[in-house]
Amino acid sequence: MKISLVAPAASLFAGVVSAATGPFLTAVDSQTWIIGNEIWNMTQGPKYGVKLYYKDHDCVGNAVGHYVSYNGAANDLAWTSARIVKNGTHSGVPFIDILFTAAEGDMHWVIFSNQHGSYQYFVNRALPTLGEFRTLWRLDNTTFPNGRTVTKDGVLPPLADYLPENKIQDETWRTPDGKGYITKYDWTSWILAQDFYGVYGEETGFGSWYINPGKDYYNGDETKQELMVHRESATGDAVQLNMLHGTHFMVSSSDVFPQGKMWGPWLWYLNDGSRSDALSRSKTEFASWPYPWLEDEPYQTRGSVSGQLTLSDGRPASHAAVFLGDTLPSNKSSLDQGSTYYYTATTDASGHFTIPHVRVGSYGLQAWSGNNSAIEDVSSTFTLPSLTVSKNKETDLGALTWKISEKKKLFQVGSFDRFSYGFAHGGDPWQHGLVSSCPANLTYRVGCSTTKDWCFGQSTKGNWTIKFWNPATANANKSATLIVSLAGYSSGSSSTIWVNDAVVGNLTSGSVGSDGLVTHGLASDPSLYRSATAAGEWRYFEFEVKPGVLKEGKNEVKFQLTRETQWHGFMWDAIKLEW
């Protein structure tokens, strides 16, 4: 381990590289530092980390390099000082913890001897109320021609295909042959499902990966999706994006962070481009989390939460999604929460769940029907307003009863899991404009049609009709409830909802006036026009169907799209009519 005094940059750089025998920090001047170890080194300037040397090759080249920013690219953090805050060993291996200070907070690089890369974490000091906060690498595009997430792996589109005359919207172009689209949003993936992701070139012999075994510092729930890798359209840089607090597919997520909020640690890992090696390393990292070498008391002080959910009709809440977040009530959905720390789990077949390694504190618990759940008919959300997690203790919530509707179901289309799974194209790979393949007019016949006969999104003027049979005369004089659950909504489309000849409500953009009709003005999320096919921001609505509207025998529910915007509209979760 080594700290050098200031020296002329060129001679110092050569000396540092040749003399490195362990992790080091070297000051070039008051705004330039070199960090690394025997394997790699990087020159850190006032904002950008450049000259990343690995295997005697500059992996940044003419690209921007490494930096930390918030609110998109509007604010790049400026580093005012750098120092080693800890010299240590773990399992006999020396390491140093280097702290780069900015007005907004502290960026740490924890570098072990002979480590291919570095652990990183950020501690908040004075970040403003914000939506996007990220760290990232922008690397040489010839060294790193490919991208990989848990859901997509392949060649990043070449910069030459980004023709200005073919641009159609935000970061989206038609391909030069006019037969498809290029957009960075096709490289989106699920935050909580990631094992490792990054940019690489097996043929060039280089890989740069992020491995995030701890995910409690991210905002949002299991429906959270974010950009991971892409081609920078202005320069061609290969982008490895670490969206610590992201909003790309949400209505908004504006959070105030407590001082000391920690994002990370995660591992930034360098290798020869081997995905199998990166996968092996990710398994090691996941098994090691929470990291024992980080001597931070709040980070190490944890407990666990467990319980068993049973529906009020006696069924176990099998394979339900469980979310541990802010205490309730909250003015934010589970997807929108992001100030502190968040945890998810899935119940087993008996409704049991356990959430390990939870930071101590107060939380609220929510649960809903999860993907492939045996309780897909349950439209309600279970809530437990407050619970406390204590150090080294299991918070056993015991038997929990989930109150569900006692009404009789007349029909249901889809599953109440907050995703569009099961519908035509629901959950297909992220791709621009897929909703345009759904028809303008669609008829679903209860008892004859299957879930696949309903498309994942409605975006074109026309009528989507559900035809069903009401067998009982007496039911015709009762009121009913039409439940409409959306996996996402992108503004610019309006829907009038009919039951037989009666309008029972409207769904539209923005604020609405009062005309005696139940009309919901929806805020927009960018899901449909940013390549999403499974989720955006979940919404739930109930519409009263008054007595006399339904009749014995044939009936129908119709969603009439009266206003359209290309690639915008409604992404479906589930629809249910009950007495």
The pLDDT value given to residue 3: 40
The pLDDT value given to residue 225: 98
The pLDDT value given to residue 9: 47
Residue 4 — very low, low, confident or very high, per pLDDT cuts 50/70/90? Answer: very low
Q: Which fold has domain 301-402?
A: Immunoglobulin-like (2.60.40)
The pLDDT value given to residue 72: 78
Residue 6 — very low, low, confident or very high, per pLDDT cuts 50/70/90? Answer: very low
Write the pLDDT tens digit of every residue in 332-358.
Answer: 999 999 999 999 999 999 999 999 999
Of the chain, the percentage scoring pLDDT greater than 70 comes to: 95
Strand 57-58 relative to strand 75-76: parallel, antiparallel, unpaired? unpaired
Q: SS3 helix, strand, coil % of the chain, rounded to 5?
A: 10, 45, 45
Tell me how far CA of residue 201 lies from CA of 66, 198, 212, 279, in angstroms: 19, 10, 21, 15
The pLDDT value given to residue 2: 40
Say if residue 16's pLDDT is above 60.
no
Residue 92 CB neighbours (<10 A): 6
Give the lowest-confidence range in 194-198, 271-275, 370-374.
370-374
Amino acid identity of residue 211, one-letter, is I
Say if residue 170's pLDDT is above 80.
yes
550 and 468 Cβ atoms separated by less than 8 Å: no
Residue 20 — very low, low, confident or very high, per pLDDT cuts 50/70/90? Answer: confident
User: pTM (2 decimals)?
Assistant: 0.94
* Residue range 195-206: mean pLDDT, rounded: 98
Domain coordinates of the chain in residue numbers? 54-297, 301-402, 409-578
Write the pLDDT tens digit of every residue in 83-128.
Answer: 999 999 999 999 999 999 999 999 999 999 999 999 999 999 999 9
Sign of the torsion angle spanned by Cα atoms 420, 421, 425, 427: positive
Find the DSSP H helices in 114-231.
Answer: none
The pLDDT value given to residue 7: 39
Write the pLDDT tens digit of every residue in 431-465.
Answer: 999 999 999 999 999 999 999 999 999 999 999 99
Say if residue 1's pLDDT is above 70.
no
The pLDDT value given to residue 5: 36
Mean pLDDT of the chain: 94
Q: Which CATH number fits domain 409-578: 2.60.120.260, 2.60.120.200, 3.40.1000.10, 1.10.530.10?
A: 2.60.120.260
* CATH tag, 54-297: 2.70.98.10
115 and 37 Cβ atoms separated by less than 8 Å: yes
Sign of the torsion angle spanned by Cα atoms 84, 86, 88, 91: negative
54-297 against 409-578: fold identical:
no
